[in-house]
Amino acid sequence: MKNAISCIIIDDDPTAVEILKDHISAMPRLKIEQIYTKPIEALNNISQCNCKYLIFMDIDMPAMSGIKLANSLKHRSHNIIFTTSYPDYALEAFKVRAKHYLLKPFNISDFAEVVNEVITEYYDSQHLERENDLAFFLRTNGERGKLTKVLKADMIYLQGSNNHVHIYTSDHNYSVYMTMKEMEEKLSDNKQFYRVHKSYIINTRFVKEINGHKIDLGKYQVLMTPQYKEAFMEYVNRNILISKRL
């Protein structure tokens, strides 16, 4: 099993704490390191530790809000997931570098989806070690002797997120530590890949349908924006079958 991830719960609601405890216990890689019901106590203790915690934090708490607490911790290496009943705080949450936002009430499925997304990007991200014309070879953090081969032909689309690029195949999602611009340059000589959005590069081999600004890739759908539409539509027009019959 990959390394366990130490978690902290910060919430003044006992019921919410119990729900988080149950959900965390259901995730094999997560372990609860500490639980705080008082945000100021949490700040004092967490600030003195150099550990990297995955923190599940409420927003509406007495004495100090979760937003203020997260802002005090934003220059440290912790990863924060807000768990709150108030959707209006979403923009503020991401300004203080929260990694995700779970709206109460949430079930174990919602919890697992968000946690796995954060783990993939911030704990199991990979680095492009080397490449050839056919494949990328990726190395996961902490796994010195292991390289993962990802065939370029199998890559359905790529999505940029912060300083990572997620590579989606039919059965895997790889998170690579690099920017979309860097990835676009890597694929610039490969004529089957087109950037169709600030955040998306698609493999034209998987295009099933184009409907307005939506591109159907079979298992996935992505949006196309005007900034990148022209080059991709030139490719599409070159490949349209037109009858020559009158």
Q: Same structural domain for residues 116 and 135?
A: no
Specify the pLDDT at position 139: 85
End-to-end, the C-alpha distance of the chain in Å comes to 65
Number of domains in the chain: 2
Grade residue 72 by pLDDT with cuts at 50, 70 and 90: very high
**Residue numbers of the domain that contains 179:** 126-238
CB proximity list for 77: less than 8 A, separation 6 or greater: 52
Tens of pLDDT, residue by residue over 87-139, are: 888 888 878 888 899 999 999 999 999 998 888 878 877 889 899 999 999 98
Residue 245 lies in a domain: no
Q: Which residues pair with 82 in a beta bridge?
A: 57, 101
CB proximity list for 26: less than 8 A, separation 6 or greater: 108, 112
Grade residue 146 by pLDDT with cuts at 50, 70 and 90: confident
Cα–Cα distance, 183 to 198 (Å, whole number): 12
Q: Same structural domain for residues 159 and 56?
A: no
- Give residue for tokens 């990835």: 183
Specify the pLDDT at position 143: 63
Percent of the chain with pLDDT over 70: 95
Q: Same structural domain for residues 160 and 220?
A: yes
What does each C-alpha distance from 239 to 30, 74, 211 come to in angstroms?
49, 49, 16
Q: Same structural domain for residues 86 and 107?
A: yes
Pairing mode of beta strands 100-103, 126-131: unpaired
Q: Same structural domain for residues 92 and 143?
A: no
Q: Which of 122, 146, 178 is the last residue of a domain?
A: 122
Q: Which of 122, 153, 186 is the last residue of a domain?
A: 122
Q: Which of 122, 157, 180 is the last residue of a domain?
A: 122
Residue 26 lies in a domain: yes
Tens of pLDDT, residue by residue over 76-95, are: 879 999 999 988 888 888 78
Q: Same structural domain for residues 35 and 102?
A: yes
pLDDT at position 192 over 60: yes
Specify the pLDDT at position 96: 87
Q: Same structural domain for residues 50 and 147?
A: no
Residue 63 lies in a domain: yes
Tens of pLDDT, residue by residue over 16-45, are: 999 999 999 999 999 999 999 999 999 999
- Averaged pLDDT for residues 137-142: 77
Residue 246 lies in a domain: no
Tens of pLDDT, residue by residue over 59-68, are: 999 999 999 9
CATH code of the domain containing 112: 3.40.50.2300
Residue 232 lies in a domain: yes
Cα–Cα distance, 197 to 220 (Å, whole number): 15
Q: Same structural domain for residues 10 and 118?
A: yes
Residue 243 lies in a domain: no
CB proximity list for 169: less than 8 A, separation 6 or greater: 150, 154, 155, 156
CATH code of the domain containing 166: 2.40.50.1020
